[in-house]
Amino acid sequence: MSDAPGPDAPGPYPYVPGPDAPGPYLAAGPRVGLRPFSAADAGEFTARARESRELHRPWLFPPCTPEAYAAYSGALLGDPARAGFLVCERGEGGRIAGFVNINNIVRGAFRSGALGYGAFAHAAGRGLLTEALGLVVEYAFGPLELHRLEANVQPGNAASRALVRRAGFRLEGFSPAMLFIDGAWRDHERWAVTAPEPAA
């Protein structure tokens, strides 16, 4: 899932995350900040997920109950091959606008991860996930020391395809029956972006 860009949506890599990010955030832009999942977020996250069912289906199935959230967030927090980020609105008391996760992180010569993401209904169409994805890409290529990020997108999900294109991802290929989603094996396009080469 994704949202449409706002009037001043950023380019692919506009922010420098890390210790300079304000407050509780790992990274922050003008309108959103990224922070880790926590057990305390279960109530708000699951309420937003329930409100967003119509927006998310049939592409996305975030946890809608406290039990499902506990398993979901626990897996993100307890697995070194995953990193999860809540997207929070800085000007709205930090309310949760969506999430971006990096899954299947592989180190060594590959240094790669696969993205999953979604905006909640109240935040859709405002460019907030566009801003957040730019922050995640910077964080992945900075503190996480990754070289490549991949986003696997179903061909019919036009909003998600537009999001990764805005973030500078390139279409690398097509994989039939790639992922089992909503009771069937679904075709996916493979979009990816690699870290910029260091300046000479």
Region 146-164 average pLDDT: 95
Please tell me the predicted confidence (pLDDT) of residue 20. 58
User: Rounded mean pLDDT of the chain?
Assistant: 87
| pLDDT bucket at 11, cuts 50 / 70 / 90 | very low
Please tell me the predicted confidence (pLDDT) of residue 93. 82
Please tell me the predicted confidence (pLDDT) of residue 49. 96
Region 26-51 average pLDDT: 95
Region 96-109 average pLDDT: 96
Please tell me the predicted confidence (pLDDT) of residue 13. 32
| Gap between the Cα atoms of 55 and 101, Å rounded | 19
Please tell me the predicted confidence (pLDDT) of residue 92. 75
Contact call for residues 163 and 38 (beta carbons, < 8 A): no
Please tell me the predicted confidence (pLDDT) of residue 135. 96
Q: Is the pLDDT of residue 138 over 70?
A: yes
Region 17-38 average pLDDT: 82
Please tell me the predicted confidence (pLDDT) of residue 24. 85
Per-residue pLDDT tens for 177-188?
A: 999 998 999 999
| pLDDT bucket at 42, cuts 50 / 70 / 90 | very high
Per-residue pLDDT tens for 66-100?
A: 999 999 999 998 899 999 999 999 987 889 999 99
Please tell me the predicted confidence (pLDDT) of residue 91. 82
Task: Tell me the longest C-alpha to C-alpha distance in the chain.
Answer: 50
Please tell me the predicted confidence (pLDDT) of residue 5. 32
